[in-house]
DNA sequence: CTGAAAGCGCTTACAG
DNA sequence: CTGAAAGCGCTTACAG
């Protein structure tokens, strides 16, 4: 395997100069740089990451932490982040928490990360208060996606969860619904994660604005998954008169709800309207109305915010960015997408 | 940050002994090991990966290459692989090809990988013949998942694609269908990737076994996605009398087909039956009949086959494994799952 | 079973 | 703009 001194010899310079030229440092004359690059090319030389990391203290690697890569939001974010990182010359170390407490510990506790990566991205990762301080003390650049996760000194990219839920609820109100249920995630008291709470507040606020009373029996907590949607809806139906419409806190929950309604012999939207939040890849196939959130764009933007201060060769401005997210979160817009799962309630 | 000599000093041994003790080498006395581990614990010491890699030549990292992490099969495989790798002490470097030719080049061409990882896993990655030889010459352990990708010297884990398609087709025949269409992936002549070809052969073989003539107008090539399924089905319907049933080469294609049928005013299964292959997370919600393949298990198994020869602390035998995949592929079983998208054809 | 010493292949002050 | 030399923090023969 060719090493730096092979290139140095061929180019007739020192290894220090090769090192500088390869990294594009400005302190190398154009002619020398050309000679070095030609020699590297000719020898098919590639810098050894291990040696470079040990000597330089930088890893060229970013850790991306997601709860479950199999869910739409996370795989979509990771796809966008992977592209941005690789185009910027960074590697992506994937950590999929998958609900394993040990993994959370290992990943989030200090020592593990700061020797393997230059920066950390946390995607909608429920954190314990202790994790928060541990991360803030990590002395590593970081960024979070989604309001659920906020590390004191890290910038954050997200949507306005409360507004998204308000939009969904208002759509149903506009159609004439008055008996509107809400199914959302299950707030684990051990974790700091506010996305579902914000969505719930949006649903409630919009009903209040419309002058409606909140009916607690129409507001169900479950988990943020297809199966959670199914269970929440079954519970809802078991409680008596069904609502005429359901706001689900995610598209996956909405899909679970549609399945539960079908199993109960209720038609969507004739008997019950359903709306989600996300714009999942399959929302179109299912005819699911939803409030779309830009998952890939949140990923790209977060990647850029993370890499910029590292002096990475980042990829130009991103459309729609307002602010850097460093002091205040960057909030990306959502938008209502009406399909076939929502319609006016039947005349009584 | 504590280094190896801090630990050595505290434990009263040399750094060589600390190194050996930390890695669990057998050439350390129990008493010494205990002393070293206690010192490391006390100092909160963690080996520097960069230094360890440079000195030892091992990276403790595996590259996992997928075409698109957002698709069901790939995210499910990656989730299982991530768990196995991390439990075995390995890091996972994610490469999402995403159809970008440059990325394929960068990832698959020699120099890039062999300095950053100890091994490579390729998941259903269409390869050019030139890539195949490049990888075989990489001198790096590797494993592939799915018959689409076969690197000469690498073991392979997959299902029997032809048998899966036969099972799907036979189910429709058993229900009484005779006019059965097939929609599958688009074979790109530049790539070596045989999964769709194998599934097509299974469909055709089963029809022939039933004594039916093949009707080329019922066999459509499209892409392996939701959208591909929609387009293929629209094309099918545009060709005249619709079939009474469709075999889709993947669940995502089947979902696209269901959407296209609905848009055309045809009901599933009353007018047209649809069956897929996969058992996608959402197949249940959609009531989609399918031939299930064990994605997570293929991932786990491939990870194990990859790590075993590296002397990794692997995690015991995996149920259902037959052979090591080194000489002949490991073939995992599929099974028919009947839901609501398949039914007998209507009486004419 | 343990240690002294060389070496892995770079980057970085420092000096010029 | 360029080079000589030290050093990054480990692992690995080698010797005992």
Task: Judge whether residue B26 contacts strand D, using its CB and a 7 Å cut-off.
Answer: no
Same domain, yes or no, for A239 and A132?
A: no
Confidence of residue A270 (pLDDT cuts 50, 70, 90): very high
| Model confidence at B195: pLDDT above 60 | yes
Smallest Cα–C1' distance to nucleotide D6: which residue has it? A55
Q: Do A104 and A226 share a domain, yes or no?
A: no
CATH number, position A120: 3.40.50.2300
With 70 as the cut, is the pLDDT of residue A64 above it?
yes
When CB atoms are compared, the residue of A53, A69, A79 closest to B50 is A53
In a domain? residue B301: yes
Q: pLDDT tens for residues B103-158? A: 777 676 655 677 889 999 999 888 887 777 778 777 789 999 986 667 878 899 99
Query: Which of residues A55, A71, A87 is at a domain's end?
Result: A55
| D5 closest protein residue (CA to C1') | A16
Q: Is the preceding peptide bond at A269 cis, omega within 30 degrees of 0?
A: yes
Q: Which residue is nearest to nucleotide C9 (CA to C1')?
A: A51
Residues of B in contact with A285 (CB under 8 A): 226, 230, 255-256, 258-259, 286
Q: Which of A70-79, A82-91, A312-321 has the lowest mean pLDDT?
A: A312-321
Q: Does A282 share its domain with A302?
A: no
In a domain, B344, yes or no: no
Angstrom distance (rounded) from CA B13 to CA B156:
45
Least confident interval from A21-25, A77-81, A314-318, B92-96: A314-318
Asked if B172 and B134 touch (Cβ cutoff 8 Å), the reply is no
> Taking CB atoms and an 8 Å cutoff, what residues of chain B touch A79?
68-70, 96, 98
DSSP of B184-243: E----TTSB--HHHHHHHHHHHHHHHTTPPP-GGGEEE--SSHHHHHHHHHHHHHTSSPP
Q: Check A82 against B100: CB less than 8 A apart.
A: no
| B281: chain A residues, CB-CB within 8 Å | 70, 226
Q: What percent of chain B has pLDDT over 90?
A: 68
* Contact (CB<8Å) B51/A51: no
Least Cα separation, residue A280 to chain B (angstroms)? 11
Q: Is residue A344 part of a domain?
A: no
C-alpha span between B120 and B139 (Å, rounded):
11
Nucleotides of C under 7 A from a protein CB: 1-5, 7-13
Return the residue of A nearest to B68 by Cα. A79
In a domain, B339, yes or no: no
Is there a single domain that holds both residue A138 and residue A260?
A: no
- For an interface test with B, the pick among A83, A86, A258, A340 (most B C-beta atoms closer than 10 Å) comes out as A86
Tokens for B113, please give them: 């990988």
Q: Evaluate if the CB of A158 falls below 7 Å from strand D.
A: no
Q: How many domains does chain B have?
A: 3
What does B246-283 look like in DSSP terms, one character per residue?
EEESSHHHHHHHHHHHHHTT--TTTT-EEEEEE--TTH
Task: Say whether the CB atom of A16 is under 7 angstroms from strand D.
Answer: yes
Q: Report CA-CA distances (Å) from A179 to A60, A217, A219.
A: 53, 11, 11
Mean pLDDT estimate for chain B = 89
Q: Are residues A189 and A207 in the same domain?
A: yes
Say which of A72, A82, A258 has its CB closest to residue B94: A82
pLDDT attached to residue A16:
95
Q: In CATH, what number is assigned to the domain containing residue A19? A: 1.10.260.40
Domain match, B276 and B317 both: no
- Are A226 and A146 members of one domain? no
Q: What is the length of chain B?
A: 348
Domain with A33 in it: 4-55
In a domain, B342, yes or no: no
Give the pLDDT of residue B322: 46
When CB atoms are compared, the residue of B1, B116, B256 closest to A91 is: B116
Protein-to-nucleotide distance from the CA of B5 to the C1' of C9, whole angstroms = 22
- Position A219 in a domain: yes
Q: Which chain B residues are closer than 8 Å to A86 by Cβ?
A: 95, 103, 106
Under an 8 A CB cutoff, do B83 and A69 touch?
Answer: no
Is A20's CB less than 7 Å from nucleic acid strand D? yes
Instruction: Report the Cα–Cα distance between both ends of chain B, in Å, rounded.
Output: 79
Distance CA B30, CA B19 (A): 14
Same domain, B321 and B254: no
The whole-angstrom separation of Cα A22 and Cα A55 is 15
Q: Is the pLDDT of residue A348 over 80?
A: no
CB contact under 8 A, A69 and B48: no
Inspect the interface and report whether the beta carbons of B83 and A100 lie closer than 8 Å. Answer: yes
pLDDT average, residue stretch A250-263:
96
Has residue A346 been placed in a domain? Answer: no
> B23 with B109, same domain?
no
Q: Which of A79, A96, A115 sits opposite B49 (nearest CB)?
A: A115
Average pLDDT, chain A: 89
> For residue B35, is it within any domain?
yes
Looking at the fold, whether B149 and B268 belong to one and the same domain comes out as no
Q: Cβ contacts (< 8 Å) between A72 and chain B: which residues?
A: 70
Window from A14-23, A190-199, A227-236 with minimum mean pLDDT: A190-199
Mean local confidence (pLDDT), A288-295 = 98
What percentage of chain A exceeds 90 in pLDDT?
69
**pLDDT beyond 80 at A150:** no
pLDDT in tens, A202-249: 999 999 999 999 999 999 999 889 999 999 999 999 998 899 999 999
Name the nt closest to B56 by C-alpha to C1'.
D11
Closest CA to A303 of A287, A290, A318, A283: A318
Judging contacts by C-beta atoms under 8 Å, the chain A residues touching residue B94 are 64, 78, 82, 92-94
Nearest residue of chain A to residue B114 (CA atoms): A48
Protein footprint on strand D: which nucleotides are under 7 Å from a CB?
Answer: 1-5, 7-13
pLDDT for the residue A322: 46
> Looking at the structure, do residues B174 and B204 belong to the same domain, yes or no?
yes
Entry field: residues in chain A: 348
Same domain (yes/no): B182, B265: yes
């Amino acid at each position: 395997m060719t090493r730096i001194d092979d290139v140095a010899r061929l180019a007739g310079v020192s290894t220090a100069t090769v090192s500088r030229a390869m990294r594009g440092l400005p302190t190398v004359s154009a002619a020398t740089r050309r000679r070095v690059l030609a020699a590297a090319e000719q020898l098919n030389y590639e810098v050894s990451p291990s040696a470079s990391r040990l000597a330089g203290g930088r890893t060229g690697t970013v850790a991306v932490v997601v709860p479950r890569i199999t869910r739409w939001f996370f795989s979509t974010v990771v796809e966008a982040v992977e592209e941005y990182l690789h185009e910027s010359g960074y590697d992506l170390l994937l950590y999929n928490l998958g609900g394993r407490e040990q993994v959370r510990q290992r990943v989030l506790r200090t020592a593990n990360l700061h020797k393997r990566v230059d920066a950390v991205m946390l995607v909608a990762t429920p954190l314990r208060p202790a994790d928060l301080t541990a991360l803030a003390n990590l002395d590593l650049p970081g960024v979070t996606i989604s309001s659920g996760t906020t590390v004191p000194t890290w910038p954050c990219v997200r949507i306005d969860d409360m507004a998204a839920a308000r939009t969904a609820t208002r759509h149903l109100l506009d159609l004439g619904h008055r008996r509107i249920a809400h199914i959302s995630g299950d707030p684990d008291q051990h974790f700091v994660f506010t996305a579902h709470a914000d969505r719930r507040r949006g649903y409630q606020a919009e009903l209040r604005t419309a002058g409606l009373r909140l009916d607690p029996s129409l507001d169900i907590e479950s988990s943020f998954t297809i199966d959670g949607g199914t269970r929440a809806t079954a519970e809802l139906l078991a409680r008596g008169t069904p609502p005429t419409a359901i706001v689900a806190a995610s598209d996956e929950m909405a899909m679970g709800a549609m399945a539960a309604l079908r199993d109960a012999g209720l038609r969507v939207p004739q008997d019950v309207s359903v709306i989600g939040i996300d714009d999942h890849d399959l929302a179109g196939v299912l005819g699911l109305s939803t409030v779309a959130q830009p998952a890939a764009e949140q990923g790209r933007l977060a990647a850029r915010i993370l890499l910029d201060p590292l002096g990475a060769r980042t990829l130009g401005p991103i459309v729609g960015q307002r602010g850097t997210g460093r002091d205040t979160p960057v909030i990306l817009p959502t938008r209502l997408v009406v399909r076939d799962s929502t319609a006016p309630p039947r005349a009584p």
